[in-house]
Amino acid sequence: MLKDQIQSLLAQVEAMQASSAEEIEALRIQYLSKKGEITALFNDFRSVPSDQKRELGQLLNQLRQEAETRINAMREQIANSQQQTANSQLDLTRTPDPIALGTRHPLSLVKEEIINIFSRIGFTVAEGPEVEDDKHVYGMLNFAPEHPARDMQDTFFIEKEPGVQKPTDILLRSHTSSVQTRVMTSQKPPIRVLCPGRVYRNEAISARAHCFFHQVEGLYIDKNVSFADLREALLYFSKEMFGAETKIRLRPSYFPFTEPSAEMDISCNICGGTGCSFCKGTGWVEILGCGMVDPNVLESCGIDSKEYSGFAFGMGVERITNLKYRVKDLRLFSENDVRFLRQFESC
């Protein structure tokens, strides 16, 4: 009879014992799984006469509850036992092991700070590929075919076939301006983007130069954008990055993709502009290049230069980091010397 089976299983459940989590799981499967013995009794319960359902139903529920209670109690007992064993192995008299703190790379810290400063005045981040083509790196930026920057001594060109010396238009980008051309050809003005990333140039590695470094370039295109807008944006950045007392000056320069063009200096943040060895006694330190976007660049990217104007600027992250943390050797940024990196644990 079903009642006898229930009482027999109840006695087995009350006598259950286990010494490990595996044994407890085996008991759960034996009695409570879909194919378990208690589940099978619930299936048999369907054929019980109506006048016996009330009594047998209560007994079945009592059996299942007892099995669940016993299994949960054994699980808790095993867990407590394991915790006590682990605690007994602890030597509370030992001095805690020192936990070494990690740190972000100084270039990452400065790059993020630059992005945060310009994000407050509406700039968003745009990224592009490091392996580029000549069109986006040079062609659309008003570089003449004979421009020196296209020479193999400055740019890393990628050969289409190993060992075969022939012209190729695939290269490692030498500046993040290539991201600007991709943005200008895919978006309509107004455009206000910041383009951070790694760039590559074929230069000898020294304390002042490297074959790869990091740039952050900015681009703003809209109606009636003027040189005064450029100056105010860069003045705001300089004060936020180097302090409220920072001054700037713009010197005429030349870049193929901007006209007019300028180099920007800031008052030396070490001597306050009075003159020191760092600024070579001038009181000024160059930090970036900038200018108004050349109309030829706008037209090559499909933007009407008669309706829109814009400005662009670009700075080396290593240069800004040098000024902020007074790091004199660029090679330290890529050597992964933990003694150097530990200096930035609190930054």
pLDDT of residue 184: 96
35 and 122 fall within a common domain: no
Residues 72 and 194 in one domain: no
User: How long, in residues, is the chain?
Assistant: 347
Q: Considering the entire predicted model, what is its pTM?
A: 0.67
User: pLDDT at position 153, please?
Assistant: 61
Domain boundary, last residue among 88, 122, 147: 88
Which residues are CB-neighbours of 267 under 8 A, at least 6 positions away? 245, 246, 247, 248, 273, 283, 284, 285
For residues 74 and 124, membership in a common domain is answered with no
- CATH (domain of 236): 3.30.930.10
Considering the domain architecture, whether residues 76 and 110 belong to the same structural domain is answered as no
Q: Record the tokens describing residue 49, joined without a space.
A: 């006469």
The total of structural domains in the chain comes to: 2
Per-residue pLDDT, 37:
82
Choosing from 88, 119, 142, the residue where a domain stops is 88
One domain for residues 21 and 80: yes
- Give residue 301's domain range: 106-344
298: closest CA among 197, 149, 183? 183
- Between CA 172 and CA 155 the distance in angstroms is 7
Beta bridge partners of 266: 248, 285
Average pLDDT by stretches of 10, the chain with 347 residues: 77 83 84 81 77 79 84 85 73 70 84 95 94 92 82 75 65 93 94 95 83 94 96 96 92 94 89 76 90 95 95 94 84 84 74
